[in-house]
Amino acid sequence: MVEIFDPKSIDYNKDYGTPPVQSDTLITLTIDGRDISVPEGTSVMRASALAGINIPKLCASDNLEAFGSCRICTVQIGGRKGFPASCTTPVEEGMQVTTQNDQLAKLRRNVMELYISDHPLDCLTCSANGDCELQDMAGAVGLRDVRYGFEGESHLNAKKDTSNPYFTYDPSKCITCSRCVRACEEVQGTFALTVEGRGFNSKIVAGQNDSFLSSDCVSCGACVQACPTATLMENTVIEQGQPEHSVVTTCAYCGVGCSFKAEMKGDKLVRMVPYKGGQANQGHSCIKGRFAFGYATHKDRIQHPMIRDSINQPWRKVSWDEALNFAAQRLRSIQKQYGRESIGGITSSRCTNEETYLVQKLVRAAFGNNNTDTCARVCHSPTGYGLKTTLGESAGTQTFESISSTDCMLLIGANPTDAHPVFGSMMRKRMREGATLIVADPRKIDLLKTPHQSEVLHLPLLPGTNVALINAIAHTVMQEQLQDRSFIEARCDQSAFQKWRDFIIKDENSPETMEEITGVPAQDIRKAARLFAKAGNAAIYYGLGVTEHSQGSTMVMGIANLAMATGNIGREGVGVNPLRGQNNVQGSCDMGSFPHELPGYQHISDDKVRASFEQKWQVALDNEPGLRIPNMFDAAIAGTFKAMYIQGEDLAQSDPNTLHVEKALQSLECLIVQDIFLNETAKFAHVLLPGSTFLEKNGTFTNAERRINRVRKVMPALGGKEDWEVTMALSNALGYPMHYNHPSEIMDEIASLTPTFKGVSYEKLEEVGSIQWPCNEQYPDGTPIMHREDFPIGKGNFAITSYLASEERSNRRFPLLLTTGRILSQYNVGAQTRRTHNQAWHDEDVIEIHPSDAEQRGIKSGDWIGITSRAGQTVLRAAITERMQPGVVYTTFHHPFSGANVITTDNSDWATNCPEYKVTAVQVEKVSQPSEWQQNFHAFNQQQMELLKQGHKKRSKKVTLS
């Protein structure tokens, strides 16, 4: 009987040796007497593995192209001479393959004997003991003796490289299979590793025989994962030994949402290994998800609830009950004194969907108002608004996988190799395959320097001129008649299109007119338009460089307009794709975190919608949208807003105009912060509730492709409660009952109230791995690609996107434009990554400046530089780089002491109040000491750390007795 290979039967814990091949043609062959049919192009090795016949192998791995170097996987094929390698031999119709006989056994044993003649015999004390493919294969081929002896030439004395804090390179154990080098090239796309020398002297080296740390290595871990021996090994495994069980879960860093196997010893996490079955990351990872998990057990973790009456007092360690009652009592008394609307809550884009849902439910049902908002306010709120207006749904349209059919990528205001590294690697792979890349960014980002890239075009626009640029591109499309007429006719609202066409074709939008505004030569804009419109499959990817502007929402709509005008919506390889910053930004937005929207983007003023929630929640809901974060700050300073419950969010560091934020926080009478650390915001708090990390709870995250991934608990919550349990307890303390035994029950409630989540359940997630919403009767298996047939609003809606210059402009006093971004090794405000070895790569924020701007001011690399804006001043070290364009400076905001947001202003998006982080007019000059704010920050920080220490010392007597 012929076994037909079934793609669904893939076991992601098994290595099939070579990658899967897509083909409609099936080839039938016979392996060891068994007939099997596999897609044309499949290797003999993979076909065998699919048939359950496991051919020995060392250099092959199913995430790497076949290489054919180890010669362990040789087979015999009827009618052919010799012993072909099964990994590099494609199947052929009627092929008769023998994988085991005496001749093959001898050949494999003799090759293995050669390997072991240059390998230490320290298996029992080796860090890979129990997880070593060399050991397994030596066993499989039955090697019993090394007749060559061990006195010959060898690499046994080769020196270790321990420069990387996460893994050790021990060349004495290397079998030169090149899996690490190939992983660095094919999977990660960095090309940091190579083989130096030839023959017996071949040695894997980083860079030009640099140390791993000083080389181009980005520490993604792909090489460590690929290594079949102990040559590249996680230090945690070297120190602790092999893990004994593993749990598949989802990374809590960026919006890519990588699946990992958390490999455990009891409840101790030994290592995180990217999971091949993860549909977002497909077995790849970055330095953060792979290695930077040490924060979870860092000594700074808040482990006990604490309270205090004022922020000048020491913290008091108390019981959960006391803390929650203290909080509830304060909230209620404030409401009594200042009114129902005087309190609010902030949901977290780092917490799970279920937790976010509960916080907004707490606000709406228990606080009795709609004063709920989330950190998406300061990142992707314009995406929600802009995409909903034009395409009818507040979400990206594609899967990440879709990029494998993209011919032209237009990347705007995003830096994937730093901020979304795993997706950055997918982009690089596609660039190596020939796709064109257009980057609209003030800086020369690393993606523009991709090894073996195809055509790239950089449009180095001035910060704040996105809309001018996108309009000029769209203008070119229409003027040169490059639009997709049939798509526009069939899929878009004609009257809106006509209005837009009349608008965009105006000369004021032409590349020639916009050249002066954007700083991008007209011919380059035209070239970009042609590349994009004529590509076939063109996709737009964008990040916070689009949204965090006064015209953020306008730009999002401009992007959607361009995609519709060129017919690049509704199939593989195209689409509009926001790259979400945090792990669950998509989810926190989906879950009704915004003051005007209930879960599933259902408007609070919609009576029918509200009624369904009121019935389920058994409470009357306010039909008026509540306060947004900046409104809360203003109201706090004005004295009408008095208390906040903030879950897993650090407004004091991440929100713009720090001085203003600090003043608002100081004005609160009750600030309840639930976090894993004493973050900057918590220093202004009265109640501190221990948060739980993603390792300590169950739930779901939704990534940038709308993919709902399971988060699974691998260790108990350090503070005793998972975040959803804390919100539940606070609600109960406030007198609004919440009772859930498990987050799956919360998801069931979400599904019952949210049309786009109707088909989502933990049961289904267990079955299929992950689901991309909408998932309901219409799309029972979820929706990988959106808008295939039509838009949720019926026809696509072209929006008018007039360019208006930001008020934040350079002038004589502030002649430079500051823009902000991220770096690979650090994440967001750095609360997690600063408490890991990632500090080895980036332990302070610097200001990047072009050599000519630096020279004019007598600035040298490493000088202390004062950066002054209308809002404030801070001091950072200078890094001089031609990555910048003259007139633009850049910094990151990963370190609180940097005070990057002291200088950002309170300008914001006209539609959503998303702050204009990306444009601040500044002047820079050499200085000799930190800014006044930094000095104050330092003093305040010292004081608060001391108050925390006092709290840790003694437990309040009152509490112990109660």
The binding site for another protein (CB under 8 A) comprises 66-72, 74, 82-83, 85, 87-90, 107, 110-111, 114-115, 117-118, 147-148, 152-153, 175-176, 178, 194-195, 197-202
Give least dist CB 103 to another protein, A: 8
Q: Quick one: which of 372, 347, 371, 803 has its CA closest to 549?
A: 803
Q: Judged by CB, which is closer to another protein: 21, or 247?
A: 21
| Cβ(649)–Cβ(668) below 8 Å | no
Q: Quick one: which of 516, 521, 513 has its CA closest to 458?
A: 521
Give least dist CB 147 to another protein, A: 5
Give least dist CB 189 to another protein, A: 16
Give least dist CB 185 to another protein, A: 10
Other C-beta atoms closer than 10 Å to the C-beta of 604 total: 21
CA distance to 321, 366, 576, 736, 856, per residue, from 733 (Å): 9, 10, 44, 7, 61
| Cβ(71)–Cβ(56) below 8 Å | no
Give least dist CB 88 to another protein, A: 4
Give least dist CB 200 to another protein, A: 5
Q: Quick one: which of 855, 912, 57, 848 has its CA closest to 556?
A: 912
Give least dist CB 149 to another protein, A: 8
Report d(CA 44, CA 588) in Å as an integer. Answer: 46
Give least dist CB 71 to another protein, A: 4
Bridge partners for 687 per DSSP: 307, 672
Give least dist CB 497 to another protein, A: 38
Report d(CA 364, CA 950) in Å as an integer. Answer: 36
Q: Judged by CB, which is closer to another protein: 202, or 297?
A: 202
Q: Judged by CB, which is closer to another protein: 109, or 596?
A: 109
| Cβ(70)–Cβ(111) below 8 Å | yes
Q: In 187-228, which residue ranges form alpha helices assigned H by DSSP? A: 222-226
Give least dist CB 170 to another protein, A: 18
Bridge partners for 261 per DSSP: 248, 273
Q: Judged by CB, which is closer to another protein: 203, or 444?
A: 203
Q: Judged by CB, which is closer to another protein: 89, or 279?
A: 89
Give least dist CB 128 to another protein, A: 19
Q: Judged by CB, which is closer to another protein: 7, or 82?
A: 82
Q: Of all helices (H) and strands (E), which one includes residue 182?
A: helix 179-182
Q: Judged by CB, which is closer to another protein: 198, or 957?
A: 198
Q: Judged by CB, which is closer to another protein: 109, or 955?
A: 109
Report d(CA 501, CA 55) in Å as an integer. Answer: 62
Report d(CA 578, CA 556) in Å as an integer. Answer: 9
Which amino acid, 629? I
| Cβ(37)–Cβ(9) below 8 Å | no
Bridge partners for 702 per DSSP: 708
Length of the chain: 962
Beta-strand relationship, 343-347 and 372-374: parallel
Bridge partners for 97 per DSSP: 31, 77
Bridge partners for 484 per DSSP: none
| Cβ(252)–Cβ(350) below 8 Å | yes
Q: Judged by CB, which is closer to another protein: 148, or 603?
A: 148
Give least dist CB 54 to another protein, A: 19
| Cβ(850)–Cβ(884) below 8 Å | yes
Q: Judged by CB, which is closer to another protein: 111, or 230?
A: 111
Q: Judged by CB, which is closer to another protein: 195, or 800?
A: 195
Is the backbone of residue 108 left (phi > 0), alpha (psi -120 to 50) or beta? Answer: alpha
Other C-beta atoms closer than 10 Å to the C-beta of 813 total: 11
Which amino acid, 42? T
Give least dist CB 75 to another protein, A: 12
Q: Judged by CB, which is closer to another protein: 149, or 858?
A: 149
Q: Judged by CB, which is closer to another protein: 25, or 741?
A: 25
Report d(CA 664, CA 334) in Å as an integer. Answer: 16
DSSP codes joined into one string, 509-549 = GSHHHHHHHH-S-HHHHHHHHHHHHTSSSEEEEE-HHHHSS
Q: Which residues contact 28 (CB under 8 A, 6 or more apart)?
A: 2, 35, 36, 37, 93, 94
CA distance to 17, 65, 80, per residue, from 27 (Å): 18, 20, 18
Give least dist CB 146 to another protein, A: 10
Report d(CA 428, CA 435) in Å as an integer. Answer: 9
Q: Judged by CB, which is closer to another protein: 288, or 429?
A: 429
Dihedral of CA 10/12/17/21: which sign? positive
Give least dist CB 155 to another protein, A: 10
Give least dist CB 428 to another protein, A: 17
Is the peptide bond prior to 774 cis by the omega test (within 30 degrees of 0)? yes
Give least dist CB 164 to another protein, A: 24
Q: Judged by CB, which is closer to another protein: 79, or 199?
A: 199
For the chain, helix, strand, coil in percent to 5 are 35, 20, 45
DSSP codes joined into one string, 371-391 = -EEEGGGGTTHHHHHHHHHHT
Q: Judged by CB, which is closer to another protein: 158, or 195?
A: 195
| Cβ(402)–Cβ(573) below 8 Å | yes
Other C-beta atoms closer than 10 Å to the C-beta of 456 total: 16
Q: Judged by CB, which is closer to another protein: 108, or 642?
A: 108
